[in-house]
Amino acid sequence: MTGWVLFAVTFLACMVEAVEAATVVLAVGVTRSWSSAFRGVALGVIVVAAVVAILGPTLTTIPISALRLVVGALLLVFGLGWLRKAILRASGWKALHDEEAIFAKTTAGAKAIESPNARGFHGGDPYSFSLAFKSVVLEGLEVAFIVVTFGANAHDIPLGAVAAIAAIAVTVVVAAIVRGPLSKVPENTIKFVVGALLTSFGTFWGAEGAGAHWPGTDLSLVVIIPATIAIALVMSGVLRMMRTSAQRGSGSTAVAA
């Protein structure tokens, strides 16, 4: 994998996770307590950093063939999960992932809980803290997984880390500017593309780890990636037509009744 491919894929994948975490942090910060939310973010970052420091070096000592097999399988599961949801959303069978709705839901939940008003938690807000902490840890571990696995396979973890930091920095700057849900980010489109890329790399690495040899080695990705995207687009189109047909059928039945 070339440097720019590693940077681009890592950047996009990490931005998706950063957007989701930023939405939750913004919601509790605006409605409850910025200080507690930031403390939750800080502790979450520390926890993720500790996990990476402990497990990251261990992961890179695994033989490259075994690493490719394991990582390939994991990326297939990860990528196919994203791609499946993106296809269902693009075809209309699943509601689009609405960051604005998530923000509103989180905000409503935060407002519904009585503020501790300096009781317990040293004058802070445990609800804001725990929600921000949870979101940062969950999304942060996914970012760490992406960075370590992509970077280890490309023998350039530092570049993967730079891409992740850049994605997080861009998301934080945008969140600070808009101070609201990042609904303008085409997240489903990003998930569709990243899901296809993860599925393609998972197929490539998993097969290599199992002993297969791709024609042209890394150049085979030039065929695998477009083929994966094309198949996903075709599936999305077929599902969209099936949904339209089902809606027409239910409409006809309703009229006849």
Q: What is the mean pLDDT of each run of 10 residues along the chain (257 residues)?
A: 81 85 80 85 90 71 70 79 84 68 72 54 72 87 82 80 92 78 62 81 84 83 90 91 81 42
φ/ψ (deg, to 5) at 94: -135, 140
257 in any annotated domain: no
Q: Determine the structural domain holding residue 150 and report its residue range.
A: 3-243
- Structure pTM? 0.59
33 in any annotated domain: yes
Cα–Cα distance for residue pair 209/65, rounded to 1 Å: 4
Cα–Cα distance for residue pair 196/230, rounded to 1 Å: 9
249 in any annotated domain: no
254 in any annotated domain: no
76 in any annotated domain: yes
253 in any annotated domain: no
* pLDDT computed for residue 115 by the predictor: 54
Burial class (CB in 10 A: 0-12, 13-18, 19+), 50: exposed
217 in any annotated domain: yes
Number of domains in the chain: 1
168 in any annotated domain: yes
What separation in angstroms does the CA of 180 have from each of 11, 23, 70, 172, 244? 22, 8, 39, 12, 34
